[in-house]
Structure 1
Amino acid sequence: MTFQTATRSGVRPSDRVRRASRSRRAGLALMVVALAGSAAACSSSGSGSDGGSTAITVSHGYTLVEGKEIQALAQQWNRANPKSKVTLSFNGGNDSALQKTVAGFTAGNYPDVAYEYGSSAAQLSRQPKLVDMTSTVHAPSFDWNDFYPSEREAATVNGKVVGIPALVDNLSLVYNKKLFADAHVAPPNASWTWQDFRNAARQLTDRSARQYGWAYVNDGSEDTVWRYLAMLWQAGGELLTKDNKKPAFDSPAGKAALQQLHDMAVTDKSVYLDNGSDNYLNLFNSNKIAMLWTGPWDLATINKNVQYGVTLLPGYNGNHETISGPDLWMSFDHSNGRTATARKFIAWLTSAKIGLQFSIATGDLPLRKSSTTLPAYKTFVAKYPSEQVFVQNLNNVKHVRPNIHAYAQVSTAVGQMVQSVLLGQRSPAQALKQGSAQVAGALAGS
């Protein structure tokens, strides 16, 4: 299935990439350092008493069209709830969310509600002031099962719901229609295999013209990791054992995924290896890269004159599983009254109707399955036709990254493993052995 170009007015590429794609990098880079000693800081944050007021502060990093819409929604809430008003607080950008929240515990001025990357869930679950949202989501009126399974799992740490999904995305295959037509290669479709993908990338590569079939972010960051994870899961593998105590990716599935990357990047030389500068977007716009594995955040960066299509990731034995990176609204206790207001505001903000209103204004994917059944969903599809595949692809998310405190170290080891294969520095077998040993050490020390 393919769709024509759709853009989001007012969203700069850097903002969209920084908020979503970069969350895999920057969010993880901050969390270990920022949270060192934070539990002690919480104990000195004071009682949080507000003298009975139910007004709350909501911290976020939205800018431009998203910043405008969250402001509009806060005003909408305040008009309907004059005794439980919301004040928005800009945290400097969502990459700074965790750092700002932890600093607020130290200073005693932490928010009632904060937008946090999903990668921060395990760390913030240790905070004494964190509000347990389990009872909120299991209330019949909330309909927790209306959220996609991956969102629910990402919001849960050790059986406790620590936040409510604020953003959901996934990886799909975005391709340049012109390059496929010029090369007389049939465009990708939802039944493509890894071999189909490799063959097409090879045919679409012209190294003399510096044209590549595919691009891969190969800076060793979480951007490097999560594309590999989708392939690992497609092949039937797991990152860690079920108890999250040991690595599990040194397996036939882990090797198959790395072998595919090796064959395309080293043998075929059909992959542009991006160093983390996001230059792959400029090259895609210049008709120098035929295919990307990316998410809805990158669509705004594609030039209007570039005709592109979107379809599912190529699959392994019919499995087209993808990966998602849900982010969360998390609440922190000041008083019973303020916590009650925070719960109500988050439930309202993430309801099917209001969530879809935000999606229509911003291009973010709907959080709830039922949003796609509302009449207004037709407006979303008409405005962002390319995103319909991303919405449908949420049903292909079967795993989430483990909510464990050591994930940053696990990610670093896996990122270096993948990077070494793509650069031809190690064979898949060698890389798996070393990466598994490093992850085992990280888990043992957590």
Structure 2
Amino acid sequence: MRRRLLSAFLLSAGLALSASVFAQSNAPGNLRLMAFGSDAQLTAIKHAVARFNQKYPNVKVEVSIDPISNGWGDYVTKVLSQYNAHSAYDVYGTAIETFRTFETRKLFIPLNDYIAKNPGFSDFAPSLFQQASYQGNTYFIPIGWNNIMINYNRALFKSAGVELPKQGWTWNDFRETAKKLTIKDSAGNVKQYGYEVPNQFFFVQPWFFSNGTSILNADWTASNMLDPKVAESLQFLHDLIQVDKVSPIPGKDMLDNQFFAGQIAMISRGHWIVENAIKAKLDMDVAIPPAKVSDTTVIGFGGYGVSSTSKNKELSEALITELTSAETQKEEGELGGGVPGRKSAAEAPGFLKFPPSAFLYYQTLPNTKPVPSPANFQEIEKIFIRYYDAMMADEMPIAEGVKRCHEEIQASFKRLAAKKE
């Protein structure tokens, strides 16, 4: 999902329409859509807008795509600046990391009545709508989702004579596997790492969830960093880097290219990586993350919402109907975007053909937890990553890191509470 920034473009009607379709709505209008993603999302959105224009031929839809290259915190900043400048879009595609921030600021309209009038949404996993709701209202219609899996290079496993991951593997199994897949040259320099310890907030969460803990409490209102299991999870990742030497130290850049080049055997990513894996002709498959207490992994998903400042709310809802249609979901999933929110699209042969264990994405859905996404997500993400990076680089002891991170997170929540008073 983190790709080069794709410039905004304009899509308008240009298709021959039957009289019956034209009669559906020939009212003129203009809509602005801010979406996110890469080529897979862009292609699916373009085709969705074309179908929308078959029904609404006189409505021009301006689409801007953000690749989220700098994380969801920066996306929040961008959207808030648009509202402050009175230049907000009509429809926004965004993700769960931003929902609470936007909902508490009342930037989007409730879609309860719209959802009730669209029985087709029953094809979506019910948990996605539950997680997209806040204080009895649903502000976002779910689309594709990603749960972090272990993506692995099958060819490297076979070359090293290492057994492929099996369901039910443990942290210890994973550690030994990563050791066997780490290869050094005669001078002791690593030529191939067994794993890439994640450098992103979203990617690292399964290592806490699979240990029965989280960095925040259950309702995302306070730090849980002092839970001993948090330190235990961080120590495990630290030791993969500093003791076992099976992973590079997390840096600013993600190492997807090194994975595609066969220099890293396993990485923690979502389904979005499939798009580039296909292009690289990588012999890749996915496995459920290993378990310490459980094999619970993290889920993040996107959704479309209608801006509270939009002057075309009904047209915006009609556009969302097409953006979340079975056709759009199926196309995006098969091109390598997120896992389709519609189960019918996730069961399509085109989606299941790659990677070989693609069926595991939906199989894990009941055993996922949403990425911690409080209203002050921008701050929490930056605080956590700053201390996480220092601990992984051996610049700060784990005990000191969790304590100082806890204190800063608590201070952030106190500031958030003060704003509400």
Q: Which band: TM-score by shorter chain?
A: 0.7 to 0.9
| Superposition pairs of residues 132-151 of structure 1, within 5 angstroms | 132-139=110-117, 141-143=119-121, 146-147=124-125, 149=127, 151=128
TM-score by length of 2: 0.80
2:392 aligned residue (422, 427, 430): 422
Q: Structure 2 counterpart of 1:202, which letter?
A: K
What residue in structure 1 maps to residue 108 of structure 2? 130
Asked if residue 80 in structure 1 is aligned to residue 55 in structure 2, the reply is yes
2:353 counterpart of 1:382: yes
CA gap of 1:170–1:101, structure 2 versus 1, over 3 A, is same
2:139 corresponds to which residue? 162
Q: CA deviation at 1:138?
A: 4.3
Equivalent runs, 1:325-344 vs 2, <5 Å? 325-334=300-309, 338-344=312-318
Structure 2, unaligned runs of 5 or more: 6-26, 417-421
Contact 1:61 1:97 in 2 (8 A): no
Distance change in 2, residues 1:177/1:104 (3 Å): closer
**How big is the shift at 1:354?**
3.9
Tell whether the 8 Å contact from 1:148 to 1:394 is kept in structure 2 after alignment.
no
Aligned mate of 1:265, from 222, 241, 244:
241
Shift of 1:145: 7.7
Residue 284 of structure 1: aligned partner: 259
Change (3 A) 1:94 1:421: closer
Task: Select 1:213's aligned residue among 191, 194, 202.
Answer: 194
Between the aligned partners of 2:202 and 2:145, the Cα distance in structure 1 is 15
Q: Which of the numbers 367, 372, 382 marks the counterpart of 1:412?
A: 382
Alignment match, 1:438: 408
Q: Tell me the SS of whatever aligns to 2:152.
A: strand
**Structure 2 matches for 1:5-404, cutoff 5 A?**
16-18=1-3, 56-61=31-36, 64-82=39-57, 85=59, 87-90=61-64, 93=67, 98=76, 101-128=79-106, 130-139=108-117, 141-143=119-121, 146-147=124-125, 149=127, 151-207=128-184, 208-210=188-190, 211-218=192-199, 223=200, 225-278=201-254, 280-302=255-277, 304=280, 306-317=282-293, 319-334=294-309, 338-361=312-335, 363-373=337-347, 377-382=348-353, 385=356, 387-397=358-368, 399-404=369-374
2:295 is matched by which residue type in structure 1? H
- Kept in 1, the 8 Å contact 2:388–2:401? The answer is yes
Instruction: State the 1:196 CA deviation.
Output: 0.1
Q: Following TM superposition, by how much is the alpha carbon of 1:98 offset from its aligned partner in structure 2, in angstroms?
A: 4.4
Encode CA deviations 1:150-172: one digit per residue, 9 max, x unaligned. Answer: x3354233443221123311211
Give the secondary-structure state (helix, strand or coil) at the position aligned to 1:418. Answer: helix
Q: Provide the C-alpha distance between the structure 2 equivalents of 1:62 and 1:241, rounded to a whole number of angstroms.
A: 30
Distance 1:341 1:61, change over 3 A: same
CA offset digits 1:115-138 (Å, max 9, x no partner) = 223322222224455211233334
CA contact (8 A) 2:376 2:412 kept: yes
| Cα gap change, 1:260 to 1:148, in 2 (>3 Å) | farther
**Counterpart secondary structure, 2:89:** coil
SS, match of residue 324 in structure 1: strand
- Paired residue for 1:48? none
C-alpha distance in 1, partners of 2:202/2:310?
39
Using the TM superposition, give the Cα deviation of residue 438 of structure 1 relative to its aligned residue in structure 2, in angstroms.
1.7
Please report how far the alpha carbon of residue 188 of structure 1 lies from its aligned counterpart in structure 2 after TM superposition. 1.2
**Deviation for aligned residue 1:186:** 1.3
Percent same amino acid among aligned pairs?
Answer: 20
Per-residue displacement from partner, 1:162-208 (whole Å, max 9, x unpaired)? 21123311211111223322332212122210000011112222342
| Residue 372 to residue 65, structure 1, CA distance change in 2 (3 Å) | closer
Shift of residue 214 of structure 1? Answer: 0.7
Cα deviation code 1:85-133 (max 9, x no counterpart): 3513225655675455444434444222122233222222244552112
1:40 aligns with none
Deviates further, 135-144 or 114-123: 135-144
8 A contact 2:40–2:337 mirrored in 1? no
User: Could you tell me how far apart the structure 1 residues matched to 2:272 and 2:236 are?
Assistant: 26
Instruction: Note if contact 1:174-1:292 (Cα within 8 Å) is conserved in structure 2.
Output: yes
Question: In structure 2, what is the Cα distance between the partners aligned to 1:89 and 1:132?
Answer: 22
Distance (whole Å) between structure 2 residues aligned to residue 242 and residue 172 of structure 1: 22
RMSD of aligned Cα (Å): 3.0
The separation in 2 between residues aligned to 1:371 and 1:305, in whole angstroms, is 23
Which AA in structure 2 matches 1:342?
A: S
Per residue, is there more strand in 1 or in 2?
2
TM-aligned CA distance change 1:247 to 1:311, over 3 Å: same
The structural deviation recorded for 1:232 is 1.3
Instruction: Check whether the contact 1:296–1:364 (CA below 8 A) recurs between aligned residues.
Output: yes
CA distance in 2, matches of 1:145, 1:305: 32
Q: How far is the alpha carbon of 1:54 from its aligned partner?
A: 5.8
Distance 1:425 1:144, change over 3 A: farther
8 Å contact kept, 1:130–1:333: yes
In structure 1, the gaps of 5 or more residues are 1-15, 23-51
Q: After TM superposition, give the deviation of residue 366 of structure 1 in Å.
A: 0.9
Give the distance between the partners of 1:422 and 1:227, measured in 2 at CA: 15
Q: For residue 252 of structure 1, report the CA deviation from its aligned partner.
A: 3.0
Structure with bigger RCO (C-alpha 8 Å, 6+ apart): 1
Secondary structure of 1:328's counterpart equals strand
Q: Distance in 1 between matches of 2:290 and 2:66?
A: 37
Instruction: Specify the code of the residue in structure 1 equivalent to 2:349.
Output: K
**1-structure distance, mates of 2:154, 2:310:** 56
What secondary structure is seen at the aligned counterpart in 2 of 1:17?
coil
The alpha-carbon distance between structure 1 residues 215 and 403, as it changes in their structure 2 partners (threshold 3 A), is closer
Per-residue deviation, 1:215: 0.6
